[in-house]
Amino acid sequence: MTSGSLIGIAAILIVFAGPLSLALAGRSPASGASPASARIKPWELTLMSVLMYAVAFNLTFFIQELFLVLPKAFTPGLRPTLFHNNHSWEGANPLASLFQGSGALATLLSGGLCAMLLGRGVGRSAAQRLFLFWMAYSGVFMALPQIVIGALSDQSDIGMAMAYFGLGTTSKTLAAQAALALIPLAAARLGRLLLDQCGGPALAASATERQRFVFGSATLPALLALPLIVLFRIPREWIEVLLVPVVVSVVGVVWIQAGAWRSSGKAVGKRAVVGSLAAPLVAVLSLLLVFQLLLRPGIRFY
């Protein structure tokens, strides 16, 4: 069996079979579900989460591209340019391949920092906490799939970095398997943070409440935000416009939703009050203008 086949099977198990099995396990009586206590969550929270995810995803993508450009800007012989949905460079230097891995590293560190801040209770409003949650989510799940893709394609960003280090097939396969194994672990941690920092008292006693809350605050917003995210990425080939947001939005959310019934909801009563949607909406529109008017023509770093 080839390394590509092994990685493909592992990816199917992680993205599809694993979350499905976990979700089905939560339907058993032992899950502690309490349908009588379930209530539909306010639509305001869902809309706010949509807006915060659109901001967080695109900020994280900007961080990725910025840190792909910055190392090249200080490298002799390289002349990089930053765009709203990509970056490019002119010239040649062996270090260019190495620096193709700096973007994923930056998003992973950004995600970890935001997760730490959210865990410490930073943010008083629902908008601030959802922003930190989605920044943590986007940072982690924008990075981990790139390791898998890098193991399969030498032309991808991480693939170029792997080639610079001279990694062989076995090393690439192990790296991909490790990244896939981290996906459910990271999702479980982020799911607990979401329930802990944004949930309400009813979540402690009812698995059904937790599942409904996660669906309304994370799963549904991740899907509804896709058209908004696309506006930041056009014009470009549609596979490039859609593929990254869909992968990032699905690969982690399915695990968070599937495991919502297991979370204990220990920090009951920390649910933040949902305020006005005006500020999040202004943030989305302002960032969109920056992307389309300032970044789209390209900013040269030389």
pLDDT for position 143: 98
**Domain around 158:** 45-300
Residue 200 to residues 12, 88, 155, 169, 214, Cα–Cα distance (Å): 34, 46, 46, 48, 12
pLDDT for position 32: 46
Range 282-299 average pLDDT: 98
Q: Is the peptide bond before 235 cis (omega within 30 degrees of 0)?
A: yes
Is 26 inside any structural domain?
no
Most confident region among 28-32, 33-37, 201-205, 234-238 by mean pLDDT:
234-238
Tokens of residue 265, six digits: 């909801």
Dihedral angle, C-alpha 256, 226, 125, 208, nearest 10 °: -30
pLDDT for position 31: 45
The Cα 222–Cα 15 span in angstroms is 16
Is 8 inside any structural domain?
no
Is 10 inside any structural domain?
no
Kindly report the pTM of this predicted structure: 0.92
* 45-94 residue pLDDT tens: 999 999 999 999 999 999 999 999 999 999 999 999 999 999 999 999 99
pLDDT for position 271: 58
- 43 in Cβ contact with 209 (< 8 Å): no
pLDDT for position 272: 62
Is 1 inside any structural domain?
no
Is 77 inside any structural domain?
yes
pLDDT for position 201: 67
Return all residues near 269 (Cβ < 8 A) that are at least 6 apart: 200, 201
Ramachandran angles phi, psi of 283, nearest 5° = -65, -40
Structurally, how many domains does the chain consist of?
1
Is 25 inside any structural domain?
no
Is 13 inside any structural domain?
no
Residue 217 CA to chain centroid, in angstroms?
15
Single-letter residue type at 240: E
- 198 in Cβ contact with 130 (< 8 Å): yes
Is 173 inside any structural domain?
yes
Predicted confidence (pLDDT) at residue 279 exceeds the cutoff of 80:
yes
Predicted confidence (pLDDT) at residue 39 exceeds the cutoff of 70:
no
DSSP state at residue 78: E
Single-letter residue type at 100: Q
pLDDT for position 37: 39
* 137-173 residue pLDDT tens: 999 999 999 999 999 999 999 999 999 999 999 999 9
* 225-276 residue pLDDT tens: 999 999 999 999 988 899 999 999 999 999 999 999 986 555 444 556 678 8
Single-letter residue type at 258: A
